[in-house]
Structure 1
Amino acid sequence: MLPSVSSPRAAQKGFTGMQVLLLLLVTVIITVGVSFLVIRTYIFPKPLTPVTLNGKEAQKLEIKLQQLGWQGGSQTHAKSTNQELTPEPYRESDAKRQVSFSEKEVNSIIGRSPDFAHRVAIDFSDNLASAKILVPIPQDFPIMAGEILRVNAGLDIHLDKNHRPVVALVGVSLMGVPIPNAWLGNMKNVNLVSEFGDRGFWNTFADGVEDIQIRDGELYIKLRQ
């Protein structure tokens, strides 16, 4: 019986030298690309781009701010000053106690401050307010002096069963890495209003708010009488 002769294709096993070289080259390119993306995104992030509003959006925001007693730019301030000089009877309406700000409007307000315009961005989703903050490291700091540190944080904001505001820290991450609860003083998922509501800011805040909601892309607040 004659021995079987295998075909050249069947006898060939594994990769050729050229295929191995190409695989190594592709692996190096992917590794360099991923490393560059991680460094640019988390370790040395670019400054944030401030949010700007068009004319109609800016006018709508100014009306809301005036409703809260916040004067806007010079032109708006001049108009408001003229209106304030006109005597008129005092009135209260339930509609004026309700105000809502879109995510874009809140970020545009932040963008007015030179200190925060390129460093802070806010996101609204259901019951969650998230913040992206770029923190500059002091020049005299021993590590990464002068660089920018990326911090992300989330707050759970809603009303409890007693219609009292709940503001709780969901978490904080540093360069994309979540910080342990122990390092945050075990403050994760703790209602700041009930924890510190017996005095100071949180108590005043809770007493003055009848309703507060974080919706997808919107903050809604209704003040008490």
Structure 2
Amino acid sequence: MNPFALSPHTTQKGFTGMQVMLLLLATVIITAGVSFLVIRTYIFPKPLTPVTLNDKETQKLEIKLRQLGWQGDSQTHAKSATQELTPEPYRESDAKRQLTFSEKEVNSIIGRNPDFAHRVAIDFSDNLASAKILVPIPQDFPIMAGEILRVNAGLDIHLDKKRRPVVALVGVSLMGVPIPNAWLGNMKNVNLVSEFGDRGFWNAFADGVEDIQIHDGELYIKLRQ
């Protein structure tokens, strides 16, 4: 008797033809779904939805912006114009130098600009400000002309031991792929304030800020006297 022969009661293990077909079909569906998600998210992303505030949130934001001397063209500004032009003695208070903006408020300010409303979104986490930017590719560009490119970037923002602001580029990614530091001019993790703070904007920014903090969903700034 052949010891390797299958007995009448022995069943062969493995997939049947129908099971193989179902597995192949499931693989094709999953692959197509993942490919569509990647293409829709990174290569051809949808326009961003602008952030809007309710009436109470808008009034609160307008007060903060007026502290910074920002006068827009909204109806709220028009209604308060008469009151703001009423003569009054000049005063300074320490409380007015402290400003807190929520992530929602910052994105609503961006949403007021039609050029950025559907293209830029800001996120705040501990010591990190992140930006999602949708960049239109020019029509005369040889690749993906007229399409939208998704760019993500992060900035590390905090105070150093000398209580001077630190603003450093954490990184930039293109369609979800991190860009090498060499392609960014080796600017990753370089403090822009100390690197370019001997003159111009960064020097004025550092001299005018006494405290700056970024927490989850919130930006806090205290200006110097």
For the residue of structure 2 that corresponds to 1:134, the secondary structure is strand
Do residues 6 (structure 1) and 39 (structure 2) align?
Answer: no
Question: Quick one: distance in 2 between partners of 1:120 and 1:179?
Answer: 19
Q: Give me the CA root mean square deviation.
A: 1.5
- What residue number does 2:103 align with? 103
AA at the equivalent of 1:6:
S
Q: Secondary structure at the match of 1:71?
A: coil
For residues 58-98 of structure 1, give each alpha carbon's deviation from its aligned partner in whole angstroms, at most 9, with x where no partner exists: 11111111111112344222233212321110000000000
Q: Which amino acid aligns with 1:156?
A: D
Structure 1 SS opposite 2:56? helix
Residue equivalent to 1:36:
36
- Report if the CA contact (8 A) 1:168-1:191 is conserved: yes
Give the whole-Å Cα distance in 2 for the aligned partners of 1:221 and 1:202: 15
Could you state the TM-score of these two structures normalised by the residue count of structure 2?
Answer: 0.96
Aligned residues: 224
Q: Which amino acid aligns with 2:181?
A: N
Q: Distance in 2 between matches of 1:68 and 1:201?
A: 17
Secondary structure in 1 aligned to 2:47? coil
What percent of counterpart residues are identical? Answer: 90
- Pairing 1:147-158 to 2, within 5 Å after superposition: 147-158=147-158
1:87 corresponds to which letter in structure 2? P
C-alpha distance in 1 between matches for 2:141 and 2:69: 41
Q: How does 1:104-143 map to 2 (within 5 A)?
A: 104-143=104-143
Deviation at 1:216, TM superposition (A): 0.5
| Equivalent runs, 1:40-55 vs 2, <5 Å | 40-55=40-55
Partner of 2:171: 171
- Structure 1 unaligned blocks of 5 or more: none
Separation in structure 2 between the aligned mates of residue 213 and residue 5 of structure 1, nearest angstrom: 75
Q: Which runs of 5+ in 2 are unaligned?
A: none
TM-score, structure 1 length as denominator?
Answer: 0.96
Residue 7 (structure 1) shift: 4.7
Please state whether the residue corresponding to 1:123 is helix, strand or coil.
strand
* Alpha-carbon shift at residue 2 of structure 1 (Å): 10
Q: Secondary structure at 2:130's aligned position in 1?
A: strand
> Shift of residue 148 of structure 1?
0.1
Aligned to 2:195: 195
C-alpha contact (below 8 Å) 1:62/1:72 kept by paired residues: no
- Whether the aligned pair in 2 keeps the contact of 1:131 and 1:152 (CA below 8 Å) is yes
Of stretches 11-20 and 189-198 in structure 1, the one that deviates more from structure 2 is: 11-20
For residues 2 and 173 of structure 1, the distance between their equivalents in structure 2, rounded to whole angstroms, comes to 65
